């Protein structure tokens, strides 16, 4: 199992003079410093509901920025808590933002310079996007309870590209092709574009939304991909049955994986072929694992007694969605076998320790592992549960 130094390798963050120089001169880090916001450099969180946050008045209460220290990473996330009865200051910016509401209830108003405000209400489990550079303001509808959300953004690449916060936060360009101010824009309705791609800008209840068959990632999984307001940043929801796990794969860095349902599971991340640097991150509802570096293998496992569902938000994970420039996103081939030139490890090609660890973990949690059908050569294994 991995040591602390292995974790550094997986993060691609070994402290080097070059890395320190990049961070010191990083325009994105400079903006965070000017905000005075706390930065959390970590890629696995047991429970986002309970992470301690620092003050971030502009956001309506508290907040911290989760930014694994990988200088080339395109996206970050902002973990925000709006105080009871609180609201954020109106803002707009030239970076994309996709929001998942962890708890509480509230509303968001969205508008552009020459248009009316559109306001929609959300609660825990809702997901929405702020159209690029549209004005917005968030409100907590409760006078007693805080409202907490996670916003995955492309702020790092925007700040690093233009190196001038004034351009990012005080630019009046209107992206009419992304946000036409249609009455239904935030109505909660949507449409199936093709295959498993769902087009919507507001999803009222992601943990319970319908999903579609996805044979490619294995073991009876179901899935839906999101195309939101013409974003280059995409997302998807996947769910897998009891006693199963997904196929390991690689893609570009920065996919933020939130656990929405299920009662036990874990993710593995590694970079070395022999998996000697593997990191196991246990999860439950509210956990998050970030794919920390380019080329990092990762694989997700359900060891609980219920189906497990997760939401992944990142740059370009919905390869079928219109408008996506997949090569830049670095996600092409993520569900194509390595044997066919892709980045997915087929079950029959994976390291045997993957199945061994999974079956041990299932038994530990009282769940019946159900993966032997994909490994006929190892079918001698017999499982008995004591309860
Ligand atoms: Fe992935």
Residues 203 and 234 in one domain: yes
Q: Are residues 195 and 159 in the same domain?
A: no
Check whether 12 has a pLDDT greater than 80: no
pLDDT at 228: 92
For ligand 1, the distance from its centroid to the CA atom of residue 251, given in whole angstroms, is 6
| CA 383 to centroid of ligand 1, rounded, Å | 29
Q: How far is the CA of 38 from the centre of ligand 1 (A)?
A: 27
| Cα(255) to centroid(ligand 1), Å | 7
Ligand 1 centroid–CA 344 distance in Å is: 9
With a threshold of 0.85, does the pTM exceed it?
yes
Cβ contact 63:54 at 8 Å: yes
Q: Return the bridge partners of 290, or none.
A: 256
- With respect to residue 3, please indicate whether it lies within any of the assigned structural domains: no
Q: Are residues 230 and 140 in the same domain?
A: no
Which residues contact residue 311 at a Cβ distance below 8 angstroms, ignoring those fewer than 6 apart?
A: 100, 127, 206, 235, 236, 237, 257, 258, 260
pLDDT at 9 over 70: no
Distance in angstroms (rounded) separating the CA atoms of residues 41 and 13? 10
DSSP state of 90: P
Q: Are residues 371 and 232 in the same domain?
A: yes
DSSP state of 337: B
Between the CA of 236 and the centroid of ligand 1 the distance, in Å, is 10
Rounded Cα gap, residues 265 and 309, in angstroms: 10
Q: Does residue 5 lie in a domain region? A: no
Whether residue 130 is found in the same domain as residue 211? no
Reported for 274-277, long-range contacts at CB under 8 A and 24+ positions apart, including other chains, are 274/351, 275/351, 275/353, 275/354, 276/6, 277/2, 277/6, 277/9, 277/10
Distance 250 CA to ligand 1 centre (A): 6
pLDDT at 317 over 50: no
Q: What is the pLDDT of residue 93?
A: 98
Select from 136, 169, 202 the last residue of a domain.
169
Indicate if 373 and 291 belong to the same structural domain: yes
Tell me: the pLDDT tens digits for 240-263?
Answer: 899 999 999 988 788 899 999 999
Rounded to the nearest whole angstrom, what is the distance from the C-alpha of residue 343 to the centroid of ligand 1? 10
If asked whether residues 40 and 131 sit together in one domain, one would say yes
- CB of 273 closer than 8 Å to CB of 195: no
DSSP secondary structure of 4-38:
HHHHHHHHT----HHHHHHHHT-HHHHHHHHHT-E
Distance 87 CA to ligand 1 centre (A): 34
Is 7 inside a domain boundary? Answer: no
Distance, CA of 3 to CA of 265 (rounded, Å): 21
Q: How far is the CA of 161 from the centre of ligand 1 (A)?
A: 26
Kindly give the distance from the C-alpha atom of residue 367 to the centroid of ligand 1, in angstroms, as a whole number. 24
Q: Which of 134, 169, 204 is the last residue of a domain?
A: 169
**Separation of 334 CA from ligand 1 center, angstroms?**
7
Task: Give, for 326, the enclosing helix (H) or strand (E).
Answer: helix 326-329
Average pLDDT, the chain: 87
Structure tokens at 123: 């609660």
Distance in Å, CA 247 to ligand 1 centroid: 9
The answer to whether 303 and 242 have CB atoms below 8 angstroms apart is no
**331 Cα to the center of ligand 1, angstroms:** 9
Do the domain assignments include residue 175? no
Distance 298 CA to ligand 1 centre (A): 6
pLDDT at res. 321: 47
CATH number at residue 134: 2.60.120.10
97 and 141, same structural domain?
yes
Query: Each residue of 217-240: pLDDT tens digit?
Result: 666 778 898 989 999 888 899 998
82 falls in which pLDDT band (50, 70, 90)?
very high
CA of 60 to the centre of ligand 1 (A): 32
- One domain for residues 127 and 263: no
Its domain, for residue 199, covers 191-378
> Does residue 329 sit within a domain?
yes
**Where a domain ends, among 139, 169, 199?**
169
* Lowest-pLDDT range of 48-62, 70-84, 143-157, 170-184: 70-84
CA of 150 to the centre of ligand 1 (A): 19
Residue 96 belongs to some domain of the structure: yes
Where does residue 237 rank: exposed (0-12), middle (13-18), buried (19+ CB within 10 A)? buried
Give yes or no: residues 207 and 131 share one domain.
Answer: no
Place of tokens 């992601």: 206
Residue 186 CA to ligand 1 center (angstroms) comes to 28
Ligand 1 center–CA 188 separation, angstroms = 26
**Ligand 1 centroid to 257 CA: how many Å?**
8
Cβ(105)–Cβ(141) under 8 Å? yes
Position 210 pLDDT exceeds 70? yes
- Number of structural domains in the chain: 2
- Report the alpha-carbon distance of residue 245 to residue 248 in Å, rounded: 9
**Same domain for 195 and 156:** no
**Rounded to 5 degrees, what are φ and ψ at 84?**
-50, 130
* pLDDT, position 72: 65
Nearest to 131 by CA among 98, 158, 89, 105: 98
Contacts of 273 (CB under 8 A, 6+ apart): none
H-helix or E-strand spanning residue 198: strand 197-199
Q: What is the pLDDT of residues 295-309, one digit of tens each?
A: 889 999 999 999 999
Find the 289 Cα to ligand 1 centroid distance in Å.
Answer: 10
Is 236 among the domain residues?
Answer: yes
Q: What count of other Cβ atoms lies within 10 Å of the Cβ of residue 177? A: 10
Residues ≥6 apart with Cβ < 8 Å to 350: 247, 248
271 and 131 within one domain? no
pLDDT for 71 beyond 70: no
Q: Which of 191-205, 278-292, 297-311 has the lowest mean pLDDT?
A: 191-205
Distance of CA 199 from the midpoint of ligand 1 (Å): 20
pLDDT at 13: 47
Q: What average pLDDT does this structure show over 9-22?
A: 59
């Amino acid at each position: 199992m991995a040591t602390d130094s292995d974790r550094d390798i997986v993060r691609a963050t070994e402290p080097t003079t070059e890395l320190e120089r990049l961070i010191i001169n990083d325009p994105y880090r400079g903006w965070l410093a000017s905000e005075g916001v706390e930065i959390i450099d970590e890629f696995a969180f047991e429970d986002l509901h309970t992470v301690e946050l620092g003050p971030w008045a502009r956001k309506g209460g508290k907040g911290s920025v989760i930014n694994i220290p990988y200088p080339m990473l395109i996206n970050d996330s902002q973990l925000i808590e709006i105080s009871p009865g609180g609201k954020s200051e109106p803002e707009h910016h030239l970076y994309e933002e996709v929001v998942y509401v962890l708890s509480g209830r509230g509303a968001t108003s969205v508008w552009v310079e020459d248009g009316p405000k559109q306001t929609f209400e959300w609660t825990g489990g809702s997901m929405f996007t702020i159209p690029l550079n549209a004005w917005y303001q968030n409100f907590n509808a409760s006078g007693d309870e805080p409202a907490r959300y996670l916003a995955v953004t492309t702020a790092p690449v925007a700040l690093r590209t233009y190196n001038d916060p004034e351009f990012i936060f005080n630019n009046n360009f209107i992206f009419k092709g992304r946000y036409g101010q249609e009455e239904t824009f935030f109505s909660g309705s949507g449409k199936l574009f093709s295959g498993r791609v769902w087009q919507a800008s507001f999803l009222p209840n992601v943990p319970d939304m319908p999903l579609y068959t996805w044979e490619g990632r294995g073991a009876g999984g179901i899935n839906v991909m999101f195309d939101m307001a013409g974003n280059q940043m995409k997302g998807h929801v996947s769910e897998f049955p009891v006693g199963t796990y997904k196929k390991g794969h690689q893609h570009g860095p920065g996919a933020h994986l939130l656990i929405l349902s299920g009662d036990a599971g874990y993710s593995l991340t590694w970079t070395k072929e022999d998996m000697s640097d593997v990191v196991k991150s246990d999860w439950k509802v509210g956990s998050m694992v970030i794919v920390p570096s380019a080329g990092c293998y990762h694989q997700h496992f359900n060891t609980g007694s219920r189906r497990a569902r997760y939401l992944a938000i990142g740059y370009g994970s919905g390869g079928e969605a219109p408008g996506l420039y997949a090569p830049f996103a670095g996600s092409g081939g993520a569900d194509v076998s390595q044997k066919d030139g892709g980045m997915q490890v087929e079950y029959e090609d994976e390291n045997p320790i993957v199945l061994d660890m999974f079956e041990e973990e299932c038994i530990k949690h009282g769940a019946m592992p159900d993966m032997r059908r994909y490994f006929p050569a190892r079918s001698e294994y017999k499982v008995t549960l004591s309860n």
